[in-house]
Amino acid sequence: MNTLFTPALALLQDSMLDNMRQGVTHPDLSKFLIIAALLFAVGVAGVLTRRNIIVIFMSIELILNAANLNFIAFSRYLQETGGVNAVAGQVFTVFIIVVAAAEAAIGLGLVIALYRNRETIFVDKIDLLKW
């Protein structure tokens, strides 16, 4: 049994573990992308599961930040590989932050108007348009 697994284990240690150690001590673009993907998924889970509309808005901010992280990581990557307009990602991020601020202002205004009329901030109680 042991002899059967030894070559496989050796291969694992040689390639995969080395790769992982390299990835941990020298994070590259893909690590940033993975962190952004995880942040995005956490935000999506928050939007889909929570009832409190304010927390849903906060989860949307989390999603937008994950997208920003992707933009900045690719911008840095393009800078080092000699991209033509490498700072375009950073410019785009500025616009995303502007839109997020406008969205938060309007959304929270809606929350206040809703609370004044319906006395609730739970999305499953706001079902006037539900068929």
Partner 1 sequence: MILSGWESVFFWVFALAALVAGLLTVMARNAVHSALFLISALVSVAALFVLLGAEFIAGVQILVYVGGVMVLFLFVIMLVNVGAEEREQEELFNRPAQVTAAVCFAALLVFGLFYAINQSAPRFGANAEERAPGAAADARLRRAATGVSRISVDTQRVGGSLYRYGALPFEIASVLLLVAIVGSVLLARTSKQELAADDVDPRVVSELSAAGELTPAEIEAAAARRAHAEDVWAQSKS
Chain positions 77 to 106 lying near partner 1, rule: CB under 8 A, are: 77, 79-81, 85, 87-88, 90-91, 93-95, 97-106
Residue 13 beta carbon to partner 1: minimum distance, rounded to whole angstroms: 20
Alpha-carbon gap, residue 128 to 116, rounded angstroms: 16
Task: Spell out a b/e string for 88-106, using b for 16 or more CB atoms within 10 Å of the CB, else e.
Answer: ebeebbeeeeeebeeeeee
Residue 24 beta carbon to partner 1: minimum distance, rounded to whole angstroms: 7
Determine contact, residues 121/111, Cβ cutoff 8 Å.
yes
Nearer to partner 1, 5 or 27 (CB): 27
Q: Please report whether residue 60 would count as binding partner 1 according to CB under 8 A.
A: no
Alpha-carbon gap, residue 28 to 80, rounded angstroms: 12
Chain position carrying tokens 């240690």: 13
Nearer to partner 1, 5 or 122 (CB): 122
Q: Please report whether residue 11 would count as binding partner 1 according to CB under 8 A.
A: no
Contact map string, positions 20 to 59, toward partner 1, x by CB under 8 A:
----xxxxxxxxxxxx-xxxxxxxxxx-xxxxx-xx-xxx
